[in-house]
């Protein structure tokens, strides 16, 4: 059974701290790994990773994938209160035809002022 596990489940940090969120997976025929940020409503897309070792960066957020060890990390530097959200990791997997996403349960991040 395809599985995506995120850790920690929740995290509280102070503004300005750096955080690392983890995502490990066990799936059949990995295609890609995606990170989403979910505030009050819709998950919003952050990154899509397909190759090992290539860092994707957007402002203070960055992410990298290790396909050998089957995990990804999401780093947030100089955290701000606006970074408070649930961060979702999802893996696209499957053989031919339609690839579906398998989601982890998320990491709830709270950044205190």
Partner 1 sequence: NAGVTQTPKFQVLKTGQSMTLQCAQDMNHNSMYWYRQDPGMGLRLIYYSASEGTTDKGEVPNGYNVSRLNKREFSLRLESAAPSQTSVYFCASSITSNQPQHFGDGTRLSIL
Give the residues lining the site for partner 1 (CB under 8 A): 4, 31-32, 34, 36, 41-45, 48, 88, 90, 92, 98-101, 103-106
Query: What are the CA-CA distances from residue 64 to residues 12, 39, 90, 95, 107 (Å)?
Result: 22, 22, 14, 24, 17
Closest to partner 1 by CB, 19 vs 102, is 102
Residue 5 CB neighbours (<10 A): 13
Closest to partner 1 by CB, 15 vs 39, is 39
Q: How far apart are the C-alpha atoms of 107 and 35, rounded to whole Å?
A: 11
Shortest CB 44 distance to partner 1, Å? 7
Shortest CB 92 distance to partner 1, Å? 7
């Amino acid at each position: 059974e395809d599985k995506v596990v995120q850790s920690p489940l929740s995290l509280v940090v102070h503004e300005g701290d750096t955080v690392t969120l983890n995502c490990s997976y066990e799936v059949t025929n990995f295609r890609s790994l995606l990170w989403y940020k979910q505030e009050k409503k819709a998950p919003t897309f952050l990154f899509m990773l397909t190759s090992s070792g290539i860092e994707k960066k957007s402002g203070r957020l960055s992410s990298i994938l290790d396909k050998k060890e089957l995990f990804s990390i999401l780093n947030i530097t100089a955290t701000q209160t606006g970074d408070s959200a649930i961060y979702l990791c999802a893996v696209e997997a499957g053989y031919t035809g339609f690839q579906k996403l398998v989601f982890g349960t998320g990491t709830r991040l709270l950044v205190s002022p």
